[in-house]
Every structure is written in structure tokens, then in C-alpha cells.
Structure 1
């Protein structure tokens, strides 16, 4: 691969994604397979004036060994030192970078109950940390680079070397690093997203009605004082950052008890190394009352049954079918990319920042405003080429939002 492009990518992550400030701490969570790139990012961060860089290495092959052989009770525990690790840095105002590059089916032989227990223990212990990030009190960014197992899943007909090379090429294109000036390209992209946000936020919508030929027929009410976000996000101090590289979505939150109907997935969902395929969810008064899956039913069941909030939705996101990642016709088996190729929803916790002044409200005030809370936030894709979405105002006036998979309004 072109080392200059890879270095440009590292600079984009540090300067645009994280907008790292002089003397700021940076915490990186990275698979060990991504070590060379992670070290490059750390070097770029130091060059940008980082006070220090701390790396939390993840080894998914060891994780599989542990899930298969460790005694059951260890998955209900979370080390106190790990909790303190994240809390100490989050309260120092650190920036957080996560590199997402897992093997989509590594954990298919693991009992999903064990993984659910581990996920719940982790989410419970790190609740304060997660809430600070989801309220944008710290800058954070999620990115990806190829690993051999992931690349071979995406491009199974290529050799390992060629599949990695191809995935690098695609990733660098999706984050606009292949353009002459990535910073300029991102400024233009953010401006385009803002045009969509301005239309949606000025339309005073009270609900959205989704329909397509897969069987989706879903009505989602929106809470009072919601706002659509996308592209740039901001800390309470006004520091701009981009939480996902790439990003093509605009998103908001649903009213917790205002979701009714059925929604059908349009892509497989990779959740902790397990694939969930061809699944549907049925809602009544916001709550999931029925669900099905052709593959990965137990994994889906465990997500939904994590806690009370995981029976409800926390995010509504719009992505046109005619968008760069979707037009690549590549199924990535990685939510960071697949969610930016498709309209999607999320099971579980809502982003408080999608409510005016939401980041400053107490949990009780958020609950009263119809904002869902949960230990999980799991995006799943529902967009298709024939998806229609009609918005409704308080007076039930119809506002076309999507027609045949794309925005029905011009930007």
C-alpha cells in the first residue's frame, strides 16, 4: 500500500477526527493485529502536541480462548483496575480512539450467554465512561484498518495479501484520503450533511413512517425538543470532532414509547464476532414484543434481553441508498461501514445530545423526556433501494423524507 496515503489517514484521524489539542491525552483501543498503524497514529499524535498516548491492546484470538475455556463466573466480573483506567483518563479530558477491525465470525462457536454476561459486566462497570462519551463530554472517534481475517471475509475470492490490499484501498476511499486534499473534501462533506440537517430540523416533524418490500412497516414518534445531528459533533466547550470515520449519516433519537410496527433487517449484523442475519423486530408502544432471525437468533435474543432499555430503540439514522459506501456494493460485516451504507436504527441507549440541552439533563429528566437508557447501543441496518419514509408534522401534514431509498428533498 501507499505509505503516504496511510500516513495521511493517520493525520486525518488525529487532526480532523479527534481534533487533538496540544497537551491533551490520547487513549487508543486497538487490536494487536493493527499495531503498526496504531504506532503510526501515536507518533502523529505526539507530533501534534499530545501530552501522552496510552494504548489498550485487544487480542480477539485470546478472547475466544478465554470464552471457550474460562470458568463461567469470570464473565460476570470486571477488573477494578480497568474501570479505573478509563475513568481516570476520561476525567482528565482525554481523547479516545477505537480501531474496529474484528473477525466477523470468530466467536461463532462461543456460547453467546458468556459473551452477553461479559458485555453486561463491562457496560455496567464503565457506565459513567460511556455516558461521558455519548454526551460528547470527551472527544472520541472510531476508525478501521484491514486485518487478514476481516479482509478475507469481505473478499473471499482473493488471496490474503490481495484482500488486505483491496480493503485498504476501499477504506482509504471511504474516508476521502484518496482525494487531493482530504481536509477540503471533509469540509465539503460536512457542509452537505449540514444542508440535510437544516432541512430536517426546520421541518418540525413529529413522526416518521418507514415502508419497503422486505416487510418493514414502522412508525417512529420523535420526542419534543429533539435535534438531528451528523458530520461534526461538539464538546460542551465547542471543540469540533468527527466520531466516526467514515460517516454518511444524519441521526436523532426516537421517543422511547413511540415506536410501533415491524422492521426487517437489510444486512447481516456483526455483533462481537457473531453474525445475525435476516432478522425482524416487532414493536408496540416502543417495546420489542417479538423478533425472529434466520441466523444468530440466540445472539439477537441476548442483545434484546440485556436489560429493560434494550427492549427499546435509541437511534434513528438516515443514509441514502445512493451514497459512496452503498455504491461500492461491498458488504463489510463491520457496523462502522455498513451503517454508513444504509438507513439504520439502534437497539438500546440513546444519545442525550440529540435532545436540546440533553447532555446537561439528569437521568431522571432524560427519562421523563422520553430518552431511552440501556447498557447497550447496537446499530442494525434497514435501508433498501425501495425504502420510503414519510414524515408527519404535529398537524399530520405529510413531508416526504425518502423515496426509493434516497432523500426525497434536494440539497
Structure 2
């Protein structure tokens, strides 16, 4: 029987070595909920053991956020003290690493609150600086998940943290004799898929299934990639641990049809069910949901880019996350269970020499810019995904939840 301390330490070591790939002398910024403190401490120990100069941990508390949404003044929603932005600016300027720990301690923390106010509580200036660090490849970052009693209660109806730990360990390959080697083999397979689809130079991707017939145009200059990112100074890192996808940035001007999410998603602590988008000319013309619709409308009102796509990603049934057959209620895991799209910000580094620090120029190229990035799942056994060649011929990519291209 593996002890909790041993689990935390093994997981933290993997996150530092494979996630952010911390180098000796670098600083590490960590963000976590107060309930994630045991894992944050293990991450700090692993980072210092790997040669970190300094580890800075910033904790958040859902109950305090709930109090603000429930009782706080309107002008305070979405505001954050300038030092929080400066912290990320310094991290970007000094080439720090950054680790975000997720795993909802209380998935019902925002229950009964106004969805619009929940959506507005997101600190916009902090999020913009976060996205700038990503766009400019100025931070080696990674997101990991921490099991908690509240999260386990929401998934299983009881606070069975050991059961949740078992799922997370399988998802991140800690059940392998050599997890680092297992990750190297896995990423090599995904990178081979990404090269294969890039070489086909598809004009668009089409999703077809129950309630879905959507065609998303692609940028010919964009590459497909696995989630192995590289900073401007050459430090490779895995932004998502786990990751099962290959993806690219689509053309913000070209998307038409209707798409229905195949799984619920969670935005700002609010559950969104049966999300359906009608899209014309690249822009969402109509959005509906059986639950959480107000939150979606609030998020999409943030800026013009919030109504356009910034990511298209493909995942098949070989996904370890998908094979766990669990709705985890967190994007980090759920997006890696099946194919997905994202409204909002697109990654400039998918296009070589894209001007990452010039939002206007990026939009002119066709790379969407926004203060949000909202992933939602659109794949599964009943959804067919085709690559559309410039001449209009459809080439199967994912059918029956199985990868179809040679790679």
C-alpha cells in the first residue's frame, strides 16, 4: 500500500521533471487552492531538490471567492491587486517556471449563485498576463491535478480520495515502472501523429455526429503539435499533465455549422450541460445550454474573440483519460478524454514567426485573441472527424473513436 506522502512526492517529482522540466537556478511559481497545500509542499521540495533558486506559492480559497460573488460590490468582480499581475510579469521577464494545481475542493462551492456574477469574478488582468506568458513562450508551465475529498465526493458520492488517487496515477502514468520513460514513449507517438496530419495540409476539419455538423477552417501556415511546448530559450515542457491530444490553431474567420458538446463542462465552478453553438463566418451566432447558459453568455461577452475558436484538438480511444470512463469535472482531465474545441485565445506558436506580442497582427493572420480560453468536448464513438483537403475530399481522421491516419 503506497502512503499518501509517497504518492505526493512521486507525483511532485514527475511534475517538476516532466511537466515544467525545471532547470537548476530557475524560480518556480506555484498556484493552488488551500486544500492542495500537501501537494504544493511536495512540489516545492521536488523543485528545490532539482536546483530551484526559489519557490513562490500563491494559495486561493473557493469559499472566499464565493463570499465575493454572493456579497461583494459589482466593481470588485474581476479585479485583482496589481501585485498579482506584477508577479506574473516578473515570471515572464525572468524566465521562471510556473505550475498550476487544480482539482476542485468543493465542486458545489458556487451552487445557487448568479452564473453571470460567477463568470465576472475571474480576474481579467491576471488572466491576460497569464495568456501573454503562454503566447510569447516566456514561461515553462504545467497544470497538474490534486485529489481532494470534495472532488472525490462529487465524482463518487463519497470522499474516497484513494480511489481518485488511483485514477490520477493511471492518467499520469505513475503506475508505470519508469514513468519518465513512459512519457517519452507516449509523446513520441503523439508527435508522430501531429507530423502526419501537418504533412497533409488539410484546409479544414469537419465534425459530424448527433446534433453536430461543423466545419472549422485551418490556417495553412499552422502546424499541428502534441502538447510538448518549447519556450523562446529552448526549454521544453508539458503544459498539461496528463495530455493525450494533438491540436492546432484554426482560422478565426472560417467556421460554419452547429456543434453540440458531448460532455458537460465546468466554467468558473458552474456546470454547463448540453452546450450547443450555431456558428457562421467563424463567429458563434447562437449559444444555448440546458444548464449554465448564463455563464456561457457572460464569458462570450468578454471580448470579440470570445465568440470565435482558438483551438481544435483530436483525441482517440487510446487516451488513458478516456479509458478511465470518468467525467472528472475539470478541463485538464476531461479535455484529454476526447476531441475538443476551444472558444477564445489561440496559440501563436502554432504558426512559425507569428508576432506573439502583437494581437492586432495575429488577428490579421487569422489567429484568434481573447482573454478567455474555454475548452469543451465534441468527440466520442458517435462523432466522425474528417480532414477536408483543399479540393473538398474528406479524409477520415477519427472514426469510431479510432485514429485513422498512418502514424
TM superposition score normalised by structure 1: 0.95
Q: Evaluate the alpha carbon distance shift between residue 260 and residue 193 of structure 1 in structure 2; reply closer, same or farther with a 3 A threshold.
A: same
Give the one of 389, 392, 395 matched to 1:396. Answer: 392
Matched, 1:31 2:28: no
Look up the SS of the partner of 1:257 in the other structure: strand
1:125 to partner: Cα distance:
4.9
Residues 196, 406 of structure 2: 8 Å contact kept: no
1:319-358 map, 5 Å: 319-358=315-354
1:32 to partner: Cα distance:
0.6
The residue that corresponds to 1:106 in the other structure is: 109
Look up the SS of the partner of 2:388 in the other structure: strand
The residue that corresponds to 2:256 in the other structure is: 260
**CA–CA separation in structure 1 for the residues paired with 2:91 and 2:319:** 37
Residues 105, 275 of structure 1: 8 Å contact kept: no
Q: 4+ residue stretches of structure 1 with deviation over 4 A?
A: none
1:11-410 map, 5 Å: 11-102=13-104, 103-119=106-122, 122-156=123-157, 159-160=158-159, 163-212=160-209, 214-358=210-354, 360=356, 362-410=358-406
Look up the SS of the partner of 2:40 in the other structure: helix
**CA–CA separation in structure 2 for the residues paired with 1:137 and 1:86:** 10
Look up the SS of the partner of 1:115 in the other structure: helix
1:201 to partner: Cα distance:
0.8
Per-residue CA deviations over 1:348-390 (Å, capped at 9, x if unaligned) read 1101111122254622221111111111001001112121112
Residues 98, 140 of structure 2: 8 Å contact kept: yes
Look up the SS of the partner of 1:93 in the other structure: coil
Look up the SS of the partner of 2:257 in the other structure: strand
Look up the SS of the partner of 1:205 in the other structure: coil
**CA–CA separation in structure 1 for the residues paired with 2:80 and 2:41:** 27
Residues 5, 178 of structure 1: 8 Å contact kept: no
Q: Evaluate the alpha carbon distance shift between residue 192 and residue 125 of structure 1 in structure 2; reply closer, same or farther with a 3 A threshold.
A: closer
TM superposition score normalised by structure 2: 0.96
**What is the alpha-carbon root mean square deviation over aligned residues?**
1.5
1:405 to partner: Cα distance:
2.1
User: Tell me, which stretches of 5 or more residues in structure 1 are unaligned?
Assistant: none
Residues 90, 129 of structure 1: 8 Å contact kept: no
1:259 to partner: Cα distance:
0.3
Residues 132, 357 of structure 2: 8 Å contact kept: no
**CA–CA separation in structure 1 for the residues paired with 2:147 and 2:126:** 30
Which range is displaced more, 99-108 or 166-175?
99-108
1:89 to partner: Cα distance:
2.4
User: Tell me, which stretches of 5 or more residues in structure 2 are unaligned?
Assistant: none
Per-residue CA deviations over 1:198-239 (Å, capped at 9, x if unaligned) read 111111111111101x21100011013011111321112221
